[in-house]
Structure 1
Amino acid sequence: MTDPAFSAQDALVALMITVSASDATIRTSELLTIQAIVNHLPIFAGYDEDRMEQVAQTVFDLLEEEDGLDAIFGLVRGALPDTHHETAYALACDVAAADGNVLQSELQLLRELRYELNIDPLHAAAIERGARARHLPL
């Protein structure tokens, strides 16, 4: 079911959508965060935003399958250079924190993602703290 033509950018979008969908509710704040990330971060320079709908559909299709999350992780690892695993984790944390409330299902997904991408625990803690700080309301 995974698309071998997925780019590294597609993989990042897929991961962000997976985090958003992890609690069975895709919130507007999370979608707006994903859109802002794609619109403003240099890693998405030149990205065809029209692909986002196709990537989202692939994620939703995979999440319907028994081992769909493993397939998504495999897609991300296959398309994303090791040098950008921390970037992927940071984007995932930003989406999880976007609505100001990180749910247990999102925490579990982030824990699995840390393992899958081999993120150093100290680096993960710093990334998580940064996401918390960026999304903290007054």
Structure 2
Amino acid sequence: MNQPDPDAHPLSPQDCLVALMIAVSASDENLRTSELVKIQNAVNHLPVFADYDIDRMNVVAQTVFDLFSEEDGLDALFGLIRENLPEKLFETAYALACDVAAADGTLREAELRLLEEIRYELDIDRLHAAAIERGARARHISL
């Protein structure tokens, strides 16, 4: 596994949020348009991304894809997230991940497994997770 360059710019908290959203979208090996639109809309409209350099999204996406191509890439991704994402944004990260997973109207097994792993890695309280999941479901329901 490649060691991170100590002189490289670390991931910003916003990069971490983007990385988790991309990871959820890529978890089933199919980046769906509805999921990519959800990520783009989040970055364009949510206050947490107000000062985010949108050009970083491609760099972050490539980082996620590179990590996913490695055997322990998911563990490495979570290590980067834990190092660079403030705890106060853990629930925000989980909410954004749930929104991406729900964006196409179908939760696939790979997405559900990754959401479970995110809950565990970010130590999201089960009741809080259930409320976040319920909100995502409500926002993405169709007639």
Q: Give the TM-score band, short-chain normalised.
A: over 0.9
Quick check: 1:59 aligned with 2:59? no
Distance 2:101 2:85 in 1: 20
Aligned to 1:43: 48
Aligned to 2:108: 103
Give the CA deviation at 1:4: 4.9
5 Å matches for 1:71-86? 71-86=76-91
Quick check: 1:17 aligned with 2:42? no
Give runs of ≥4 in structure 1 deviating > 4 Å. Answer: 1-4
Aligned to 1:6: 11
- The alignment's C-alpha RMSD in Å is 1.0
Aligned to 2:125: 120
Q: Amino acid of the residue matched to residue 15 of structure 1?
A: L
Q: Deviations over 1:105-132 (max 9, x none)?
A: 1000000110000000000000000000
Distance 1:61 1:11 in 2: 15
User: What is the total number of aligned residue pairs between the two structures?
Assistant: 138
2:31 alignment partner, one of 14, 26, 43 = 26
Q: Deviations over 1:21-76 (max 9, x none)?
A: 00010000000000000000000011000010010000000000000001111111
Distance 1:88 1:103 in 2: 19
Q: Amino acid of the residue matched to residue 103 of structure 2?
A: A
Give the greater-gyration-radius structure (CA).
2
Q: Amino acid of the residue matched to residue 31 of structure 1?
A: L
Q: Amino acid of the residue matched to residue 105 of structure 1?
A: A
Distance 2:123 2:88 in 1: 11
What is the TM-score with the length of structure 1 in the denominator? 0.97
